[in-house]
Amino acid sequence: MPSAIQGDLLRRRFAEAGQEHVFAGERALGQGERERLYAALGTIDLGLVAEFQRLIRAQPAAGATSGQATRFDPVEVFPLRRGPAEIAEERLARARGAEMLRSGRVGWLLVAGGQASRLGHDAPKGCFPVTPLTGTSLYELFARKLHAARARHGTAAPWYVMTSEATDAPTKEYFERERYFGLDPQDVVFFRQAMVPALDPSGRILMAAPDAPFLAPNGHGGLLAALATSGALAHAAERGVEAFSYFQVDNPLAVPADPLFLGLHASRAARMSSKVVRKRDAAEKVGVLGKVDGTLTCIEYSDLPAPLRDARDERGELLYWAGNIALHVLDRAYVEDLTRGGLRLPWHVARKRIPTIAADGSRAEVEGFKFETFVFDALSLAGPSVVLEVAREQEFSPVKNKDGEDSARSADRDQCRLFASWAARAGVALPPPDVDGVQRVEIDPRFAEDEAEFRARLPATPREVGGGHLYAP
């Protein structure tokens, strides 16, 4: 379509929606800038903008409460400490999960829309070097886990990688440059989450520049809609995938091919299931799985009243301890149900200071609203669900911050401690501790992905790398 005609159509549509201000700076734009503006505006769903406006109007005033009584209850979990009945169920579930993996009915679903800028790395977070001795990137680490699962179960699982506008091109370039880490490119499907506009308090679309509306990712819940609209969901159906193993790119300890988790999910006829860890303490700012008015959900830290956040049981343990670590199993059929006719998840509204440009061309940071969907909201619609408790030190050490907890340094130490514990219990000699008292050990997942597999591979001689021990094929 010629750009002049496209511009006329867009101006008419946006004027009818009361958003004609997005063209305020158009006259000063060159041809290329004007085409960028039209392309960006063409992606905006004005019906969705109208929904966002209604959400803004429904925002409670500061300090206001709904006045509605809400009942909070702890969630029931399949525990880490298991009795005879649970041990018997575990044995059957592991066998069922292994059969799901062996028959190719599980696809991997990775959320990888984030940049590593907070970590001082100008690239997608998946490109960030994360392993303690070899500095293997998160993307390559997960590729090695996929290789390990294929060797163990005999079937290559398709890998669905959700990128964002910022990470899509560099992620694809990285995979191509690294030759897909030895994977078949046909087994790796990239798809991109959508961007949605931010609005000011009056419901007007904010502009980041004269040729660009301010657009932000639509949240990790947008992964479900993007699966459907991109064709990735249809691809999964063609490949015979019945369940997605969902994980996020910043957790190097994630275990996507977990027979126990998959088997419990299938044997209990669940549609969405979750892994949880025990919170470090009541103050840890993490959502917890629980029941709100009888419905399973993830209760955000800020929504759990302080008396309940601090509540303890008769043993002195936290009553609401089941920290959400963004590891899920989702049935493909359930994702199809959730996305048929549009995504059936609620939008969350966040009040933010947003950099924008005014009609006179001046730049300012103004109060505005961003909108996101959260994948864990699908729990409340799922019906049967499994909540599996796992050990934090074995499956959760996210790389989110530059320093302190949940940083690259803490993930480095956590990986070393986990691998050193396997070696120590197997009676293997360990390297001397470093200045932090950490014995630096790295175990490539293709060598062993759990302690039992590590023991089965012994005796083996590690390579000396940077004062540590590396076990690799």
* DSSP string over 229-268: HHTHHHHHHHTT--EEEEEETT-TT--SS-HHHHHHHHHT
* The pLDDT value given to residue 2: 58
Q: Is residue 37 part of a domain?
A: no
Which of 373, 400, 427 represents a domain boundary (last residue)? 400
Contacts of 224 (CB under 8 A, 6+ apart): 335, 338, 339, 343, 345, 375, 378
What is d(CA 125, CA 388) in angstroms, rounded to the nearest whole number? 27
* The pLDDT value given to residue 395: 98
Integer angstrom CA distances of residue 388 from 80, 149, 287? 8, 21, 15
Domain that holds residue 251: 69-400
CA proximity to 251, closest of 394, 150, 373: 394
Which of 341, 366, 400 represents a domain boundary (last residue)? 400
Q: Are residues 248 and 353 in the same domain?
A: yes
Q: Are residues 379 and 435 in the same domain?
A: no
Q: Is residue 236 part of a domain?
A: yes
What is d(CA 243, CA 245) in angstroms, rounded to the nearest whole number? 7
Query: Collapsing DSSP states into helix, strand and coil, what is residue 361?
Result: coil
Q: Are residues 263 and 204 in the same domain?
A: yes
Contacts of 348 (CB under 8 A, 6+ apart): 219, 371, 372, 373, 374
What is d(CA 404, CA 202) in angstroms, rounded to the nearest whole number? 39
Q: Is residue 375 part of a domain?
A: yes
pLDDT in tens, 166-182: 999 999 999 999 999 99
Q: Are residues 340 and 415 in the same domain?
A: no
* The pLDDT value given to residue 118: 84
What is d(CA 16, CA 218) in angstroms, rounded to the nearest whole number? 24
* The pLDDT value given to residue 61: 58
CA dihedral 63, 64, 68, 69 (to 10 degrees): 10
Positions of the chain with pLDDT lower than 50, given as ranges: 62-67
* The pLDDT value given to residue 120: 85
* The pLDDT value given to residue 116: 86
109 near 119, Cβ under 8 Å? no
Distance of CA 422 to the CA centre of its chain: 28
Structural domain total, the chain: 2
Q: Is residue 339 part of a domain?
A: yes
Q: Are residues 346 and 436 in the same domain?
A: no
Q: Are residues 193 and 209 in the same domain?
A: yes
Q: Are residues 174 and 288 in the same domain?
A: yes
Q: Are residues 322 and 181 in the same domain?
A: yes
138 near 250, Cβ under 8 Å? yes
Rg, C-alpha atoms of the chain: 24
Q: Are residues 344 and 415 in the same domain?
A: no
Q: Are residues 472 and 328 in the same domain?
A: no
Q: Retrieve residue 344's tokens.
A: 């059936």
* The pLDDT value given to residue 67: 44
